[in-house]
Chains A and B, each alone.
Chain A
Amino acid sequence: MIEVQNITKHFGSFRALDDVSLAVPKGKLVALLGPSGSGKTTLLRILAGLEAPDRGKVILDGVEATEQKARDRGIGFVFQHYALFRHMTVADNIAFGLTVRKGKDRPPRAEIDRRVAALLDLVQLSGLAGRYPTQLSGGQRQRVALARALAVEPRLLLLDEPFGALDAQVRKELRRWLRRLHDELGLTGVFVTHDQEEALEVADEVVVMNKGRIEQVGSPAAIYDSPATPFVYRFLGNVNSLPCAIHDGRAEIAGLSLAIEAPNSGGEGNGIAFVRPHDVEVRPPADGLPRAVVEQLAILGPVVRADLLLPGNISLEVELTREQQNHLSLAKGSPVGLSLRRARVFAGA
């Protein structure tokens, strides 16, 4: 178990982390998700010992490690731009962490060679041991960086934007590969990303960060289905935010003339209702249903995205299947009726 407790960190007058506490269970892969400046990379670097917190503790496997030097923490770190040693071959890069050990801690040369070969095999780069980093593609460099970090058999693997510098296709492949690798090796890992899709796909647990604070911690499903704050809703994207008035535990969404239950929304007054496009049901216009007009239709493969215009000039994005579209014979300008399957209301937001 890896823990940080009440970590605060300033850079000059900028507060990068504000009283952050987090526990990473053994064997889990955790994503730190947030926009740039949210403090996620700072938290990762504090775990590695590359930065020191102003306040708070780092506890590795039950032992306080706040004052421990980076080189003694036994952590594997994969840098955003890989930081491969450019004058060393792939094999020498991977062997580095073993060859710098002193005295009896250093494995004999044959043992090092054997481990390097095994790691090259693991990251599927067996033929490239003698190459230099500049002779590799981005994805290959990434895997060398990973093998180098794994060579020291770290108790915790940290990855800073591991797929950030790759193009879309390679990024997708590596994502799945990393997930499989994690399941195979049973490592404890933390990675930083600003890409919600990446976090949801790869991680066991997602930590959403904003302005140096943790907004929510949970499984990918929990994070997506029930965001705890307006920020998490907005950051995960793919959501309509509609102004509403809250009264007596119910929210009146303007333009929809629709009242929904708003438990725990915290009082009276104005608020915002968050509705995901696929949580809006589109029906034929009927009495008693709020009405809207189709303003724009876009066919995105199997699904159709429709921009609806509600009374009061409010836009609403909905998603439906091609079948539903055919069934309703939707076209630009069609009138429709609506109902909401799910919405979440926050007061004052």
Chain B
Amino acid sequence: MPKNNPAKPWRVIPGFGLTLGLTLGWLSVLVLIPLTSLFVMASGLSFEQWLAIFADTRVQAAFRLSFGGALVAALINAAAGLLVAWVLVRHDFPGRRLVDAMVDLPFALPTAVAGIALAALYAPQGWIGRLIEPFGIKVAFTPLGAIVAMVFVGLPFVVRTVQPVLADIDSEVEEAAASLGAGRWQTFHRVILPTLAPALLTGFALAFARAVGEYGSVIFIAGNFPGLSEIVPLLIVVRLEQYDYVGATAIAAIMLVASFVLLLAINGLQRWNRDRLSRGAA
């Protein structure tokens, strides 16, 4: 019996080699090779060089602000995002569709524009700065300013991950809980919240990841005082401007590893989210 040419797989739809080749080629040239070059350069650093970089209190402070600030901002976004998603899904009010569309503004508005707008708002003479100054609260040119900017850029993530899951919750589930004697609050935190948990956590992680790497909107409002209100991406830029390629590369490599870990975590969360959704539908 002749075996039909097994080396060349049969594909009815043409163009596989061409399109996959283009995809892999462009991905390698534009993304993979540049990112690899960063790691290759970082791997050339000696142990002493790494130690020196991390012993620097300015570096430590920048990491604390980028990760700590992002954590606070993501927590605020988780709470506010859940509230916004809830109101958009469960309540009708005039202009709801407009508000729904506006939620994506931070995706569309250039970060530099957001940065100078926030800085103008929270500056001591700004619309908001003027109001809070008498209470001794300073936002602009402090770490608090960085957090405000991080809240802005992360705002859509929690809303957009929670919204579809919330809309999918069957009203019968809540009615069942109520018929079993659960109060409104009990229904919320024992039935609804656990259903939303994976989506909420995914949104939180996405907002966190975005805030950690954010640059444009933060630098205008944070004041960028070394050791106090300086974020890691800015520190990378500062090192570059000083022609300290080694320092910039080392810090960037650490950031990149942190982003990849976050990406893996987010992928895991999304799979969990999907599995739960599809099991609910089955």
State A51–B4 Cα separation when bound (angstroms): 12
Contact of B4 among A49, A50, A55, A70 (CB under 8 A): A55
For the complex, count residues of B whose C-beta is within 8 A of A. 8
Of all chain B residues, which has the CB nearest A46?
Answer: B10
Tell me if A52 is interfacial: C-beta within 8 Å of chain B.
Answer: yes
State A52–B12 Cα separation when bound (angstroms): 9
Residues of chain B lying within 8 A (CB to CB) of residue A56: 1, 4
Docked-complex contact B2 and A55, CB < 8 angstroms: yes
Docked-complex contact B2 and A51, CB < 8 angstroms: no
Docked-complex contact A53 and B4, CB < 8 angstroms: yes
Docked-complex contact B10 and A52, CB < 8 angstroms: yes
Residues of chain A lying within 8 A (CB to CB) of residue B5: 67
Within 8 A of A (CB), among B1-55: 1-6, 10, 12
Of all chain A residues, which has the CB nearest B9?
Answer: A52
Docked-complex contact B12 and A55, CB < 8 angstroms: no
State A51–B10 Cα separation when bound (angstroms): 7
Docked-complex contact A49 and B2, CB < 8 angstroms: no
Of all chain A residues, which has the CB nearest B2?
Answer: A55
Within 8 A of B (CB), among A33-67: 49-56, 66-67
State A203–B163 Cα separation when bound (angstroms): 52
State A55–B4 Cα separation when bound (angstroms): 6
Give the size range of A's interface with the partner.
10 to 19
Tell me if A134 is interfacial: C-beta within 8 Å of chain B.
Answer: no
State A50–B13 Cα separation when bound (angstroms): 9
Docked-complex contact A52 and B4, CB < 8 angstroms: yes
Q: Is the interface of B mostly helix, strand, loop or mixed?
A: loop
State A55–B12 Cα separation when bound (angstroms): 18
Docked-complex contact B12 and A67, CB < 8 angstroms: no
Tell me if A324 is interfacial: C-beta within 8 Å of chain B.
Answer: no
Residues of chain A lying within 8 A (CB to CB) of residue B4: 52-56, 66-67
Of all chain B residues, which has the CB nearest A51?
Answer: B10
Residues of chain A lying within 8 A (CB to CB) of residue B3: 54-55
State A52–B5 Cα separation when bound (angstroms): 10
Tell me if A334 is interfacial: C-beta within 8 Å of chain B.
Answer: no
Tell me if A124 is interfacial: C-beta within 8 Å of chain B.
Answer: no
Residues of chain A lying within 8 A (CB to CB) of residue B6: 54
State A56–B1 Cα separation when bound (angstroms): 7
Of all chain B residues, which has the CB nearest A53?
Answer: B4
User: How near does chain B come to A172, taking the closest CB pair, in angstroms?
Assistant: 31
Residues of chain B lying within 8 A (CB to CB) of residue A51: 10, 12
Residues of chain B lying within 8 A (CB to CB) of residue A52: 4, 10
Within 8 A of A (CB), among B76-105: none
Residues of chain B lying within 8 A (CB to CB) of residue A67: 4-5
Docked-complex contact A55 and B1, CB < 8 angstroms: yes
Of all chain B residues, which has the CB nearest A71?
Answer: B12
Tell me if A229 is interfacial: C-beta within 8 Å of chain B.
Answer: no
Residues of chain B lying within 8 A (CB to CB) of residue A50: 12
Tell me if A339 is interfacial: C-beta within 8 Å of chain B.
Answer: no
Contact of A6 among B1, B10, B12 (CB under 8 A): B1
User: How near does chain A come to B45, taking the closest CB pair, in angstroms?
Assistant: 46
Of all chain B residues, which has the CB nearest A57?
Answer: B2
Residues of chain A lying within 8 A (CB to CB) of residue B2: 55
Of all chain B residues, which has the CB nearest A55?
Answer: B1
- Chain A positions 60 through 81: 1 when the CB is less than 8 Å from some CB of chain B, otherwise 0: 0000001100100000000000
- Chain A positions 174 through 208: 1 when the CB is less than 8 Å from some CB of chain B, otherwise 0: 00000000000000000000000000000000000
State A70–B10 Cα separation when bound (angstroms): 11
Where the two chains meet, the residues of A that have a C-beta atom closer than 8 Å to any C-beta of B are 6, 49-56, 66-67, 70
18 contacts between A and B (CB under 8 A): A6-B1, A49-B12, A50-B12, A51-B10, A52-B4, A52-B10, A53-B4, A54-B3, A54-B4, A55-B1, A55-B2, A55-B3, A55-B4, A56-B1, A56-B4, A66-B4, A67-B4, A67-B5
A-B complex: 9 closest residue pairs judged by Cβ atoms = A52-B10, A50-B12, A55-B1, A70-B12, A55-B3, A6-B1, A66-B4, A52-B4, A53-B4
**Additional 5 contacts, C-beta under 8 A, given A49-B12, A55-B4, A56-B4:** A6-B1, A51-B12, A52-B10, A55-B3, A70-B12
